[in-house]
């Protein structure tokens, strides 16, 4: 679940782990029940990975990468599509034609998403983040995965409202209980896990700083 390294290394390692799970599923006989166990592991890894990206990666992209809102919206839409398929897969057994169809659709969708992130989004993020900031985001991503749900909830909201130059980023986090002081001890439920994305924005820039004032992201400092 956690691999170590900065956020790009952590999420890339997740991608390789998911690819390996797809390969293991495809290598087994069609009706082998071990495929169901592997599909459950695949679901858990994909959901945890999505939570980490939506809480910390995409809020950073929105604030520091040119065209970040559109990039983040596209990646989150990919997550929603994958999560709907994972929900369908829950009711399928190996040997059921739907199982193989969904695995193939999932693999194609995840592969396209991975290629987009690794070839486009990650290099853009590396251009605007310091090495120390990427390391800090990696730690936060690992923490998010540890506390993430493991089942798909496709009806949950996918993204917080976009910011604008006149509204402090802090307004996102103060609007939800899970982002209030002391809330870290709470276990997020399926309906609020994505609302915690506002927490990641505090890493990016001081509250109230206009989005137009983009710069190189440095790690947070303690007071």
CATH hierarchy code of domain 7-204: 1.20.120
Q: Residue 100 above 60 pLDDT?
A: yes
154 — pLDDT class (breaks 50, 70, 90): low
Residues 138-145, mean pLDDT to the nearest whole number: 95
Question: Higher-confidence residue: 53 or 171?
Answer: 53
Q: Residue 45 above 50 pLDDT?
A: yes
The residues spanned by each domain of the chain are: 7-204
pLDDT score, position 160: 44
99 — pLDDT class (breaks 50, 70, 90): very high
pLDDT score, position 147: 83
Distance from C-alpha of 211 to C-alpha of 20, rounded to nearest angstrom: 39
Q: Residue 67 above 90 pLDDT?
A: yes
pLDDT score, position 193: 38
Percent of the chain past pLDDT 90, that is, above it, reads 63
pLDDT score, position 168: 26
* pLDDT tens-digit series, residues 164-198: 332 223 222 222 222 223 333 333 333 343 333 33
Q: Residue 221 above 90 pLDDT?
A: no
pLDDT score, position 14: 97
Phi, psi angle pair for 118, to nearest 5°: -75, -30
Q: Residue 214 above 50 pLDDT?
A: no
149 — pLDDT class (breaks 50, 70, 90): confident
Distance from C-alpha of 220 to C-alpha of 223, rounded to nearest angstrom: 10
């Amino acid at each position: 679940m956690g691999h170590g390294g900065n956020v790009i290394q952590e999420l890339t390692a997740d991608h390789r782990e998911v690819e390996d799970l797809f390969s293991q599923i495809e290598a087994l006989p069609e009706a082998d029940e071990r495929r169901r166990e592997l599909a459950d592991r695949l679901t858990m890894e994909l959901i945890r990975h999505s939570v980490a990206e939506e809480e910390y990666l995409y809020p950073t992209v929105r604030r520091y990468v040119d065209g970040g809102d559109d990039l983040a919206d596209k990646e989150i839409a990919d997550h929603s599509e994958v999560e709907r398929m994972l929900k369908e897969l829950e009711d399928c057994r190996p040997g059921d034609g739907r199982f193989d169809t969904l695995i193939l659709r999932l693999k194609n969708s995840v592969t396209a998403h991975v290629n987009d992130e690794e070839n486009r989004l990650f290099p853009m993020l590396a251009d605007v983040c310091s090495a120390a900031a990427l390391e800090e985001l990696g730690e936060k991503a690992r923490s998010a995965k540890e506390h993430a749900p493991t089942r798909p909830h496709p009806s949950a909201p996918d993204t917080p409202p976009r910011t604008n130059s006149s509204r402090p980023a802090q307004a996102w986090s103060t609007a939800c209980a899970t982002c209030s002081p002391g809330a870290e001890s709470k276990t997020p439920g399926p309906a609020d896990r994505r609302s915690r994305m506002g927490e990641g924005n505090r890493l990016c820039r001081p509250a109230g700083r206009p989005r137009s004032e983009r710069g190189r992201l440095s790690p947070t400092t303690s007071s």
